[in-house]
Amino acid sequence: MLNRLRLEPSRILLNLAVIFIIALWTFPTAGLLISSLRDKNDIAASGWWTALSSADRKQVGRMKGSADQVEKDGKFVISGNLFEGGDGTSGKVSAFGTKVQTPSANAAGSTVTLDAGQTLTVNVDGSYILTSPTKFADERGGRIFFVSSQPPRFTLDNYQSVLFSEGIGRSFINSLTVTIPATIIPILIAAFAAYALAWMKLPFRGLLIAIIVGLLVVPLQMSLIPLLKLYNAAGYFMGVPSKTYLGIWLAHTGFGLPFAIYLLRSYIAGLPKDLIESAQIDGANDFKIFRRIVLPLCFPALASFAIFQFLWVWNDLLVAIVFLGSGPDQLVLTGKLNALLGSRGGNWEILTASAFVTIIVPLTVFFSLQRYFVRGLLAGSVKGG
């Protein structure tokens, strides 16, 4: 403990270096999260890093017209507050002016003399007093341009609008519909296959394993044209649409299988030999051994793969846009987000909130099950060495 607390210059430097790298790595995500909670005008007006301090905003307000004037001490006076009747914001006026080019010509609280002996005072709280020696004639009041400093404010409005009116909520459910079976089905199929390849007597075992390892790196893109043709033919032949949930489950299962079998086989092959053999001597058949002994024991490996497959399917865009339709009942979150990037490219309040909705699920899974995830990564890639 003492050793840790010793403040050597090299340790301070080391800590600072790591803090710097982490800041670099988390800044982009922090920007997204903070922006998604900001008002849409604020997002467009200033950088997200200013969100925590009060922001200067250029605004315009209109004074009351001639109908509201009162006569006082031989002068005609119009008074009111610039924040009244506006967009409901409040804040502190720091400067004001009467021309659009110079909204910060005069400090708040000062009095300026305008044409024809009129004087104008604008206070910090937004109240103004306009006096004139002659009677006001204009029914419409003049405009005041001012700079106000706004306290930081955060809102969930963006989330409300993307979830319920932009269709993100619907896509969220579509994503779940794709992801849950596409995670469970390959686990089952791969676990059985991995057990067969690890412990059962069968011809061509070495060859089968070599093929599966080879398929690990086959680029997904290769499969798309032939499979699309196959799906169209099958759909036509059976008189059903070619883009269905069943179709994408099987596609994700097929693409995930090499890694699943590879990962699970090496784990199952590592189980103690005595365990399996003694069960065989007791007369249990392989189905029973698998169900009662192997499946419970390889839970950590199953969990690792499940997390992988879940993240991979949830985050996938390519397979989804090829094998599923683009209607609201089939468009998944990544596809929806990609569509929004095209149609709402400048609407950052929608993009940031939508993006955060799509990444919240994988992030939750990741942080709660990180242990298994890392274990799977290590088992899946560190070999040879």
Nearer CB in complex with another protein: 129/228: 228
Residue 131 CB, nearest distance to another protein (Å)?
36
DSSP state of 139: S
Question: Which residue, 173, 125, 166, is CA-closest to 332?
Answer: 173
Nearer CB in complex with another protein: 129/184: 184
For the record, the structure tokens of 384 come out as 């040879």
Residue 156 CB, nearest distance to another protein (Å)?
19
Strand partners, 96: 106, 146
| Rg (the chain; Cα; Å) | 33
Residue 149 CB, nearest distance to another protein (Å)?
15
Residue 267 CB, nearest distance to another protein (Å)?
14
Residue 113 CB, nearest distance to another protein (Å)?
31
Nearer CB in complex with another protein: 47/241: 47
SS3 content of the chain, % helix, strand, coil (to 5): 60, 10, 30
- Residue 237 neighbours by CB under 8 Å, 6+ apart: none
Q: What is the Cα 30 distance to its own chain's centre? A: 11
Nearer CB in complex with another protein: 140/229: 229
Burial 299-317 (b: 16+ CB within 10 A, else e): eebbbbbbbbbbbbbbbbe
Q: Are 147 and 56 contacting, i.e. CB atoms less than 8 angstroms apart?
A: yes
Q: Rounded CA gap, 32 and 286, in Å?
A: 51
Nearer CB in complex with another protein: 120/187: 187
Residue 157 CB, nearest distance to another protein (Å)?
18
Residue 189 CB, nearest distance to another protein (Å)?
5
Nearer CB in complex with another protein: 69/304: 304
Q: Rounded CA gap, 60 and 99, in Å?
A: 10
**Strand arrangement, sheet containing 75-81:** 70-72, 75-81, 127-132, 119-122, 111-113
Helices (H) and strands (E) in the chain, counts: 16, 9
CB atoms within 10 A of CB 68: 13
Nearer CB in complex with another protein: 72/291: 291
Residue 246 CB, nearest distance to another protein (Å)?
7
Question: Which residue, 316, 216, 302, 288, is CA-closest to 256?
Answer: 216
Nearer CB in complex with another protein: 36/131: 36
